[in-house]
Amino acid sequence: MKLELVLVPSTSHGHLPPLVEFSKLLVDGHDHLCVTVIIIPPRQELRTPSISSYIASLSTMPRDRLRFIVLSDADRSNSPNTEPDFLSYSESYKPAVKATVAKLYDQARPDLSKLVGFVVDMFCTQMIDVANEFEVPSYLFYPSSAVFLGLQIHMQYLCDVEKYDVGELKDSDTELEVPFLTRSLPAKCVPSVIVNDELPVVLSHARRFQETKGILIDTFSELEPQAVKFISGGDSHLPTVYAVGPVGLDSVDYKQTEVLRWLDDQPYRSVVFLCFGSMGGFNEEQAKEIAIALERTGYRFIWCLRRAAPTGPPREFTNLEEILPEGFLERTVEIGKVISWAPQRAVLSSPAIGGFVSHCGWNSILESVWFGVPVATLPLYAEQQLNAFEMVEEMGLAVEIRNHFQGEYMAAAETVTELITAEEIERGIRCLMKQDSDVRDGVKKMSEMSHMAVMDGGSSHAALVKFIQDVTDNIF
């Protein structure tokens, strides 16, 4: 009998690719397991050519027992001419997801195929209702850190039980004692999505986590031992937690680009890589400070630079010579590349890369650990402030440029009046690129642990096997 599992991802760069990679692990891990990934279109402000191209590529992915179904704007239950908030947007696709699943499994003979569950993204908890209608269990896929999951649960408790006003944390010097970290968490490092207007969304999803039968988290126990222990314990009141990460980092697309060819000619660990995710951009003033810092250090560099937009994804600067210091591009032409995009995983895998200046998105952190590249932290939005704090203070795998750059969810750097100076950035890069440092040694050791975790007998592989066994046990 074929066992059918439905996956519903959140359609953004930080969420969709990890769940797609996880779907491959599922079909490879059980000969009778079939997976259908139902993809909801991205919200308008998250639509970029790269995410559209990625979604289109899924239909050509050859994989037995794995299929992708892409819904359209027309499948929404309300008018596609309106742009609802995050919660109502996912809610509006519930009828379409239900109809899609019903159509798929009405066609299947019950003696040959059985629906055994849903796996929904952390931002698609409304789809738990659809799983309930089919009378199958739901599981949560959480492509962020165990520490952020712990904080979501902790904040939900503070708000719902202790009636705490989380808004008091904004611009506060308070330090929080939390059970998922070994040290106090400064209020300035609490993610902007919690202290700003996104808090109701964060709490709404957190309240539903306990309704699932299990939570799959893209981390590994050796990386976040304190947090994994907390969320796996009874005090968190969470269902079974499966730490199955890092997901899908063992394959890299080495398709040659100009940047990769240039890297091939650079000395070992000589290049600093600056990249800030699909939604990270800067205004002109901040871009100049970064340029000044880079030139002062004298290091070779690859810099992915885009302009922060008032709404939606960042855009390319139309003329870099107008916004960067006069003569910068000419003076650094032999040692640096200023580009709008780079294949991040392929770049980080290059032996020429000596350090990574990052916004500290969770995927980027896992990639830096996997490839053994130390990080300098420059968080911009979402939960990145917390990730940066964890990397520097809890893990010791990064150096700090700034850990509390509070911005709004999108166009983060554009909305922040505070400037990170060239002196701060230069100091951070010089510390990052030290060849003999505790941070570099720590990243090397953690890299080895990350590879061991996903191998047969490793902690994450064992968690994946346990999840698949738990899912297949649902048929009895």
Determine the Cα–Cα distance for residues 151 and 146; give it in Å rounded to an integer. 9
Could you write out the DSSP letters of every residue in 428-475? HHHHHT-SS-HHHHHHHHHHHHHHHHTSTTSHHHHHHHHHHHHHHGGG
What does the pLDDT read at residue 340? 92
Per-residue pLDDT for 416 more than 80? no
Q: What is the mean pLDDT of the chain?
A: 90
Determine the Cα–Cα distance for residues 416 and 285; give it in Å rounded to an integer. 12
Domain with CATH 3.40.50.2000 in the chain: 2-250+454-475, 258-450
Could you write out the DSSP letters of every residue in 206-270? HHHHTTSSEEEESS-TTTSHHHHHHHHSGGGT--EEEE--S-S-S-------HHHHHHHTSPTT-
Mean pLDDT of 329-355: 96
What does the pLDDT read at residue 290? 98
- pLDDT tens, position by position, 352-409: 999 999 999 999 999 999 999 999 999 998 899 999 999 999 999 999 998 765 444 4
Sign of torsion over alpha carbons 426, 429, 435, 436: positive
Determine the Cα–Cα distance for residues 365 and 386; give it in Å rounded to an integer. 12
Cα atoms found within 13 Å of the Cα of residue 193, Cβ hemisphere only: 21
What does the pLDDT read at residue 412? 45
What does the pLDDT read at residue 12? 87
Confidence of residue 44 (pLDDT cuts 50, 70, 90): confident
Mean pLDDT of 311-318: 84
CATH number of 2-250+454-475: 3.40.50.2000
* Phi, psi at 65, each rounded to 5°: 65, 20
- Angle made by CA atoms 345, 347, 352, in degrees to the nearest 5: 140
What does the pLDDT read at residue 219? 98
- pLDDT tens, position by position, 207-235: 999 999 999 999 999 999 999 999 999 88
- Residues of the chain with pLDDT > 70: what percent? 93
What does the pLDDT read at residue 409? 42
Determine the Cα–Cα distance for residues 41 and 87; give it in Å rounded to an integer. 14
Per-residue tokens: 461? 């592989």
Q: Is the peptide bond before 246 cis (omega within 30 degrees of 0)?
A: yes
Mean pLDDT of 57-61: 83
Pick the more confident residue, 81 or 141. 141
- Alpha helices by DSSP H, 30-78: 49-58
What letter does residue 317 receive in the DSSP assignment? -
- Residues of the chain with pLDDT > 90: what percent? 71
What does the pLDDT read at residue 279? 86
- pLDDT tens, position by position, 234-256: 888 899 999 999 998 977 776 77
What does the pLDDT read at residue 79? 56
Q: Are 4 and 31 within 8 A, CB to CB?
A: no
- pLDDT tens, position by position, 73-113: 999 987 555 555 777 888 999 999 999 999 988 655 666 78
What does the pLDDT read at residue 475? 65
Which residue's structure tokens are 């569950």?
117
- pLDDT tens, position by position, 144-189: 999 999 999 999 999 999 999 988 888 888 999 999 999 999 998 9
CATH number of 258-450: 3.40.50.2000
CA dihedral in degrees (311, 44, 388, 228; nearest 10)?
A: 160
Instruction: Work out the number of other CB atoms within 10 angstroms of the CB of residue 373.
Output: 26
Determine the Cα–Cα distance for residues 268 and 201; give it in Å rounded to an integer. 45
What does the pLDDT read at residue 407? 43
